[in-house]
Chains A and B, each alone.
Chain A
Amino acid sequence: MPGADKETDLSERIEAFLAELKRGGSRSGTLRGSAETARETTALLRRITAQARWSSAGDLMDLIRREGKRMTAAQPSETTVGNMVRRVLKIIREEYARSGGSNEETDQQDSLHKLLTSGGSNDDNFKRHFPHLKANVIEAINELLTELEGTTDNISMQALEHIHSNEVIMTIGRSRTVEAFLKDAARKRKFHVIVAECAPFCQGHEMATSLSQAGIETTVIADAAIFAVMSRVNKVIIGTQTILANGGLRAVNGTHTLALAAKHHSTPLIVCAPMFKLSPQFPNEEDTFHKFVSPHEVLPFTEGEILSKVNVHCPVFDYVPPELITLFISNIGGNAPSYIYRLMSELYHPEDHEL
């Protein structure tokens, strides 16, 4: 039966995606960029909307929430998955509200008022059936996909506003967004880039070779020399894994040191990150914030006897507080870290913060 086939096909795809998330999350394999993950998640959610059986918006939202929980559980550090799920949920709410004829604006603004006055009236609303809801939602998800595809270009277009000639720019590790940003600026301006290699994964090496192949004068330094060379740096431009709800960052390890050194020398710290990296998490859950990988990267097994007598840590991420950041450049333009909370309320509905 076609329905059953579609369902099995869908569940197969979901399982395959989950397996890939679990495997591809470790940094030693071929690293998937966050943009790729976001796109695949959104495509999968669109497929769920199209192929799964649901009658009302509430059903759809429950379904997506359930799948979303499974996906985030597969790889908690890959926050773009959760972010995309929340975006889709918001889309569904909006489409529902639009189909129902009520104004979106009032819904958003009155949420606090509604909490205090009407109580649980929201829950009933999502049970109404609209015939065109499916099509509308799928169309909106397509728009989201086009937006995702254009994020890197949007960010790179702003490059010339921020880089002047003969500048010395510092970056750490490898970020595809920053790479595109710098390459775009290099077409018109001449500047110098210093890349901190970011041990133990040394992704800075890849970044440096790629930049130098594009004609940019690049220097690779060891992490230990970050403060030593910072006095000659004009700007620090970094990418990040996640933007947190308070405007802080969860970025690759070593970024906090870089941010402190930049603050000491009053060098502006610019973060290039697309909006799908913005996550409604706060940095206070100690055990879920950090991710560790095998200590073999730090102290290899060839070291022998001392291995059993020492503790070795290899964290992957660093927290950077918002006070150290000067500017966020994203696909919707430049923002100060103090504005991030407002952007979050535009992208996600407050009830979706906890999936």
Chain B
Amino acid sequence: MADAEESEGIQRNDSINHTPGKIIKKQEIARAKNEGKELSKEEKQRLRKEKKQQKKNKKEDKGPSEKEKEKKPSASAASPAVTQSSAQKAPSVPAPVTTPVSESPVVSDKPSKSKAELKAERRARQEAERSSRHGKKEQGQQGASSKAKPPQNELQPVVKRLPEHVQVDDPAAVKKLAKKLERQQIPLRLDYGHKVSLFSHLHQYSRKAPLTQQISIPATVIHPSVVRLGLQYSQGIITGSNARAVALLHAFKQVIQDYSTPPNEELSRDLVNRLKPYISFLNQCRPLSASMGNAIKYIKKEISNISSQCKEEEAKKELLTCIDKYIREKITLAAQAISKYAIEKISDGDVILVYGCSSLVNHILCEAFDKQRKFRVIVVDSRPRLEGREALRRLVKRGIRCTYVLISALSYILPEVSKVFLGAHALLANGYVMSRVGTSQIALVAKAYNVPVLVCCETYKFCERVQTDSFVSNELDDPDDLIVTRNGKTHLEHWKTMETPTGGLLGLLNLVYDVTPPDFVDLVITDLGMIPCTSVPVVLRLKNVDQ
């Protein structure tokens, strides 16, 4: 009976709005009780769908799809009727929901459905998913929910969304980011100076204008330890992928400790939403590294796996132990395992070349020295970061004999070298090694002199991206770093003023990363063992299977 009434009402769009309207109002009232600072996931989804719907409606008005419009309301009328009725019933009887829900995605592919119908379908789907999570009639519901989802889950999702920080030349993407940041109340960092045309798709920030200058005091949206972390990243106080990841995890531990679940919210969902603006903020301070990205994925997964029956204190304690375990396993113990393998490769009388300051390589060399291996080290450094000096200090303090040169003297020093040890920022799925700029050069010249190149990298830095050159996805550092004063003269002082109407004439390029092709690398030492560069996708696959 209720069905018949509703099916009649559905003919007119107005009546459709009543019954789902009541439910929506209840939810909105509930939400209005909370601080409406952040929109819940459902509301965001709804807004997005509404916008999409509006756009599609506009297009369809112009297109010749009126026949379809006539057919759809009748077809869709039937399904929402059933879905609404089922939504009103207790969620313990989802069996009748299964068939209409499976119909609805087919119908929803066609454009120009009314908003209410979409909302109803979505709510029904969410109810179905929630009930499946509560463990009632799991198999049947999983079948239903998997049917309801778009049919892509057989293979891994092929196309991921392109990260914003490589789309600076696309005004639509920039606008989208600006809106997102506005919603999250994070200030937008502005680009600085003239960018070299090959890199106009990347951001270029100045270190003299940190993001924190644009935040009002007191900042209520961003946790203070995250603000401090962002400042440390953007000023270059914390550098190196391991250091950044560990600092991030410690900051998030602090966030979790200070977190308290607002009423009527679940910790698993609200905490993830709370972390999102922090991550945007850190991304604005300095683009996230691969190690940080993997750590964040892990934290989000752990948080969403917290069951809603857990009390807040227990949940927080569990999360903190998870984070500690991650740091211990993936970074500290991994470093020890890698040193164990690497020390087998260091023999007495070796002359080892290292580049820049890699915490892992330094660790390996110190361990080898403690194990009474006799070797000497050549530290190669490059402008403008001059990170090698830090490595030099650490090694000399241990008592290791060191030589220090700049990268332009590489051809001079390489005939003396017996092995090259390099650190990595990330290992890409096609076997390329992404590391500090200059690493590929060292590997190239070492190959020309037939010196073996060994890359040391923990498995948590393995990343599913593929890249073939150093242009598409890179980071541009402050261009003013290249300026140097020699003999009282600073030639590049006025580089910004050399401009013509057609664009800047003089550009300074300060790249941060580059990719080394796998044929230059002889061995990769990871905590799983010593593998060739081409086995990286195998390791990634094993990791996915584990998870």
Contacts and interface: CB of A to CB of B under 8 A. Distances in A.
B505 A206 contact: no
A54 B396 CA distance: 62
A28 B489 CA distance: 12
Interface string A214-229: 0111111111111111
Contact of B514 (A208, A212, A227): A227
A219 B492 CA distance: 11
B398 to A, nearest CB: 11
Given A199-B383, A219-B508, A224-B441, 11 more contacts: A212-B498, A212-B505, A212-B506, A224-B407, A229-B198, A232-B198, A232-B471, A253-B411, A260-B444, A298-B405, A306-B392
Contacts of A256: 410-411, 445
Contacts of A313: 403-405, 409, 412-413
Interface in A233-291: 253-254, 256-257, 260-261, 264, 290
B491 A225 contact: no
Nearest to A306: B396
Interface of A: 28, 192, 194, 197-202, 205-206, 208-209, 212-213, 215-229, 231-232, 253-254, 256-257, 260-261, 264, 290, 298-299, 303, 306, 309-315, 318-319
Contacts of A212: 498, 505-506
A244 to B, nearest CB: 15
10 contacts: A197-B482, A199-B382, A205-B492, A208-B492, A220-B508, A225-B438, A228-B440, A228-B511, A298-B406, A303-B389
B500 interface: yes
A297 to B, nearest CB: 9
Nearest to A201: B486
B99 interface: no
B384 interface: yes
A42 B239 CA distance: 55
B511 A225 contact: yes
B437 interface: yes
A292 to B, nearest CB: 9
Contact of A215 (B408, B495, B505, B507): B505
A257 B411 contact: yes
Given A232-B198, A260-B444, A198 B498 contact: no
B482 A220 contact: yes
A18 B265 CA distance: 86
Interface of B: 196-198, 382-384, 389, 392-393, 396, 402-413, 436-438, 440-441, 444-445, 448, 469-471, 482, 484, 486-487, 491-492, 495, 498, 500, 503, 505-511, 514-515
B437 A314 contact: no
Contact of A228 (B409, B470, B495): B470
A219 B405 contact: no
Given A218-B505, A224-B382, A198 B408 contact: yes
Contacts of A215: 500, 505
B382 A223 contact: yes
B441 A257 contact: yes
Given A260-B448, A290-B412, A226 B441 contact: yes
A202 B448 CA distance: 26
Contact of A225 (B197, B396, B486, B509): B509
Contacts of B448: 260
B425 to A, nearest CB: 14
A197 B484 CA distance: 11
Contacts of A309: 396, 402
A229 B470 contact: yes
Nearest to A308: B396
Contacts of B444: 227, 257, 260-261, 264
Contact of B392 (A192, A199, A310): A310
Nearest to B469: A231
Contact of A223 (B393, B408, B491, B515): B408
B453 to A, nearest CB: 14
A260 B410 CA distance: 12
A225 B196 contact: no
A315 B437 CA distance: 22
A319 to B, nearest CB: 7
A213 B506 CA distance: 9
Contacts of A205: 484, 491-492
B408 A199 contact: yes
A199 B407 CA distance: 8
A98 to B, nearest CB: 46
Contacts of A261: 441, 444
Nearest to A226: B441
B280 to A, nearest CB: 28
B37 to A, nearest CB: 43
Contact of A312 (B198, B383, B405, B500): B405
Contacts of A226: 441
B482 A200 contact: no
Contacts of A221: 509, 511
A222 B409 contact: no
Contacts of B383: 197, 199-200, 202, 222-224
A115 to B, nearest CB: 37
**3 closest Cβ pairs, A-B complex:** A224-B438, A254-B408, A256-B411
A28 B404 contact: no
Given A212-B498, A257-B410, A311-B403, A224 B437 contact: yes
